[in-house]
A and B are shown apart, each in its own frame.
Chain A
């Protein structure tokens, strides 16, 4: 079976840094991606890691350790608009197999 584990909820203060973890157990591994979804909206792509290490895109960074089957999304200088759900997803091969999604982490940013 395929499983991705991420915390269901995280709360953080505006201006702070928050890390959302994702551990995975899948039949294969080709890359880990992150998606953001605001209430009532569509999930949108944030980042993708195929190799170990940190990828930075503005205030957001994503990390991958293939040996630990683990990754995280790091959000810096939190803003109220970052309140959303965040999903990790694994691409299990280079072919057409659908992405496997985690159940999502609800991030609440408070003043």
Chain B
């Protein structure tokens, strides 16, 4: 069974903290993504990666960075968390060349206080 695993389902962090959200996929997919999901705003793309050590900005990259040191792992980093980054974060992966099916992790609920 294909799987995208996000290491933390629920986190509470303080303003200014550095936050790491980890994502691992076992499907040997080249492409990985980080989305943010907020009520009424749908899925918004933060960053994506086509390959190891490669990254591309999505629609809302400000305040975030990413790391892809291994093909199966894609990390989202909040350098200095702020309250407006309280949200649900979804990691996803898809085959190179796009494919027709994107696979999502279960999501990480982040609250910044």
Contacts and interface: CB of A to CB of B under 8 A. Distances in A.
Interface of A: 8, 30-31, 33, 35, 40-45, 48, 50, 87, 89, 91, 93-99, 101-104
B61 interface: no
Interface in B94-113: 94, 96-98, 100-107
Interface residues of B, number: 25
Nearest to A44: B104
30 contacts: A33-B100, A33-B101, A40-B107, A41-B107, A42-B4, A42-B90, A42-B104, A42-B107, A43-B90, A44-B104, A45-B101, A45-B102, A48-B100, A48-B101, A50-B100, A87-B42, A87-B43, A91-B98, A91-B100, A93-B98, A96-B30, A96-B96, A97-B98, A98-B31, A98-B33, A98-B48, A99-B98, A101-B42, A102-B42, A103-B40
Binding site secondary structure of chain B: loop
Contacts of B96: 96
Binding site secondary structure of chain A: loop
Interface of B: 4, 30-31, 33, 40-43, 45, 48, 50, 58, 90, 94, 96-98, 100-107
